[in-house]
Amino acid sequence: MKKDLLSILDLSKEEILHLFEEAEYLRNLLRKGSAYQPLRGKTLGMLFRKPSNRTRLSFEVGMYQLGGHPIFISSQEVQPGQRESIEDVARVVSRYIDGIVIRTFDHDEIVKFAASATIPVINGLTDLLHPCQALSDYYTLWRKERKLEGLNLTYIGDGNNVCHSLILGAAKLGVNITVCTPPDYEPNEKIVEEGKKINPQLISFVPDPSEAVKKADVIYTDVWASMGKEAEKEKRKKIFRPYQVNASLLSRAKEDVLIMHCLPAHRGEEITDEVMDGKGSIVFEQAENRLHLQKAILVELMGVKCEE
């Protein structure tokens, strides 16, 4: 039976930790230069309505390293929901390829697609969720000590799709997440409710950045205006200025606090150069780990398990 990854809610805690172990196995094989191609003969489609750097590159390179073949599908040509229905596109591509990554705006579009597809569907980002990013982020933290329960993560900035997936991931993995956003820019209430259904004790909101970072083991930020919100950029710059992750804010946090950003970063806006390039930054580790974690997702969802 096919399995999709549309949200972190699609995975149990045990399945997430298994992905981390699998990603580590694949990372080590790559470091040793050992060829491992369990997806030889398989094809991954990539249907993107939004621009992408890390998501596209990591899935394409990952599929190639696993022996498979990635195909980029232009949404301008296929036009699901316009030229033909989303459901019909899903049924057709299911007869050609073995799995698909979709990066789009409306989350309902990927839900509809998955309901009609007979192949695994992976959420490469929607306006609501970004599960692959958050899973890679928690994998990055897991690699530090192999333990996530009790970790204190503070998210500062816009309550966007990355924030949503971090909340769901925290609830699944036992991470204490503190969310710090300006008024009216809080995360989606339904997402917060879903997280609190799993564990209400792990999710808290602190409006003052200086207070929010005091107990943080990790400080995480993202752009103030996500894709699709560019028209609000100047307005958001004024509102979010007090939420910048800079040296002054870090002076209120633990000396060994880690800094995360999912990229792309707008240096000088949500984060300063000295913080992003500082000793606590693991931003580029995050970026690299998109490759390893997503390879684990591909292996798991496309039906081939790593050998022990």
Closest listed residue to residue 286, CA positions, set 294, 296, 274, 297: 294
* Active-site annotation holder among 49, 56, 290, 292: 290
- Using CA atoms, how far residue 169 sits from 56, 164, 176, in Å, is 22, 9, 10
Our answer to whether residue 277 is catalytic in this structure is no
Our answer to whether residue 79 is catalytic in this structure is no
* Active-site annotation holder among 54, 103, 236, 261: 103
Rounded to the nearest 5°, which phi and psi values hold at 198?
-75, -50
Our answer to whether residue 56 is catalytic in this structure is no
What angle do helix axes 283-301 and 13-32 make, rounded to 10 degrees?
Answer: 110
* Active-site annotation holder among 98, 107, 133, 163: 133
User: Over the range 38-68, which residues count as b (16 or more CB within 10 Å of their CB) and which as e?
Assistant: bbeebbbbbbbbbebebbbebbbebbebbeb
The residues that bridge with 122 in the sheet, in sequence order, are 5, 101
Separation between Cα atoms, residue 163 and residue 46, nearest integer Å: 24
* Active-site annotation holder among 27, 130, 164, 292: 130
Our answer to whether residue 180 is catalytic in this structure is no
The residues that bridge with 154 in the sheet, in sequence order, are 178, 219
Our answer to whether residue 4 is catalytic in this structure is no
* Active-site annotation holder among 222, 236, 261, 294: 222
* Active-site annotation holder among 132, 163, 262, 306: 262
**Dihedral Cα 216, 222, 224, 228, nearest 10 deg:** -150
- Using CA atoms, how far residue 165 sits from 137, 151, 274, in Å, is 10, 16, 27
Our answer to whether residue 132 is catalytic in this structure is no
Cis amide prior to 264 (ω within 30 degrees): yes
Q: Which residues are catalytic?
A: 103, 130, 133, 222, 262, 290
